Every structure is written in C-alpha cells, then in structure tokens.
Amino acid sequence: MAGSLTGKVALVTGGSRSLGAAIVRRLAADGAAVALTYNASPDKADAVVHGVEAAGGKALALRADAADAVAVKAAVAKTAQTFGRLDILVNNAGVIVVKPVDDLSLEDFDRIVAVNVRGLFVATQEAVRHMREGGRVINIGSINSDYVPFAGGALYAMTKAAVAGLTKGLARDLGPRGITITNVQPGPIDTDMNPDSGQFAEQTRGYTALKRYAQADEIADFVAYLAGPGASYITGTGLVIDGGYGA
C-alpha cells in the first residue's frame, strides 16, 4: 500500500464499523498504519484489521470506550508505542440520543457529553503530545451543529456545536506547532445509526439537493484528503459535506 500517507501513523476512534471502518480502510489504502478503537464490537474490529492486513497494510484494534479517559489515553499511547509515532487522529467515536426534551435524563446528558465532547478532547490532548510538525487532527462533527430539522435532537446538536467550537479554539493552540485541526460536518450518511432505509429516511433525503444519503466511503475520501499533504493550510474550520442539505 503505497500512497500519500506512506510512513504515517493514524488512530481512528470508533473505527470498527460504518463510517469509522471506511475511514480506517481508506487511510490504510493511502499507506498509513492505522490503529482503531472499539467499545462493544470486537469481531467487527478484528474484521477491519484483517481486511487491511490482507490488502498489505498495517492495522491494530484497541478496546477503548470513548467515555473512559484512562482507556482513551492508553489507546493513544499504545498506538504510538506499536508504530513508533502518531501523525493523524480521527475523532470519529460518537453516540446519538434522540428523545423529546421531557424524556431526556441526566444520564443521557452525561453519556453523550462524555463520548462526543469529553472523549474527543481527551484523545486530542493526548495525541498531540506525540505529534510532530505536520500532524493532523480531524474531528467528525455534524451539520446538526447548525441545522436541526427534527425534534428530539437537542443533546446531539449541542455536542456537535461544542466540537465545532473546540476545533476553532484548538487551532490557535496547535497552529504554532504546525499541527492542523479540522471539523468534518457530514449530512445524512447511510450508517448503522442512520440507515437510508430508516424511519425518517425519505424525509431526510428530501432535505438534500442530491436527494440521497452519502455513502461512508465518500466521507472517508474527504477525511483522507484532509490527512494528506494537499490540506496543509486548512485548519480551525468546519468543512461541510452534505449533498446540499444546507443549500
């Protein structure tokens, strides 16, 4: 696997399935050695690793709940120890809660913040300790930080808005070190959490200009570009890939 990321090492959180797995495969196809974290899907994580290795790449699966700061830090350290460096972090791990406001619990609030915001911050803080000039942090946010055309999505939108703000702030901290940080904001993607045949799929397709969901590989291609040499002057910004959802 020779490509634009040959010699680089990446860590993808939540990389065992759907979008995360697509990102792992694409970064590996571009030449990176890729570690991925998973929480409850060891078989799926192993399948992703075996697929990368069968294609001639290097991959490593690490169990780490994004809400567990100790486990997240250990995953970052193990990645750097195993592959000798860390150049790219993709903060993909996330959860979603969709409930009317009256039904939301503090446990819902605490869990979604712990994974979508706190876990992302912990992974980023730990990863940049290992990064050299040219390092990349790529957050997977959502257009729901700006648009919420359905009821029950307040907590999810809140966390993705926090990711957008954190990306901007950290760009100022990391810029002088030559490390970029970006926030990819996808629209509807055909994933386990939001299938294009789900309950709200027809309505959701209608919001896009292209009248379809994205495929995970399309988002992964965009992430790979941001991880590569052509994106070295992009930092501190949200990059929308939504099929015209916000047009």
Catalytic residues: 156
Shortest CA distance to 171 belongs to which of 235, 122, 117? Answer: 235
Q: How far is CA 115 from the centre of its chain?
A: 12
Contact between 66 and 117 (Cβ < 8 Å):
no
Contact between 53 and 59 (Cβ < 8 Å):
yes
DSSP H or E run through 61 = strand 59-63
Exposed/middle/buried for residue 146 (C-beta within 10 Å: 0-12, 13-18, 19+): middle
Q: Which residues of 56-75 are buried (b: 16+ CB within 10 A; e: fewer)?
A: ebbbbbbbbbbbbbebbbbb
Which CA distances in Å does 185 have to 47, 103, 223? 27, 27, 11
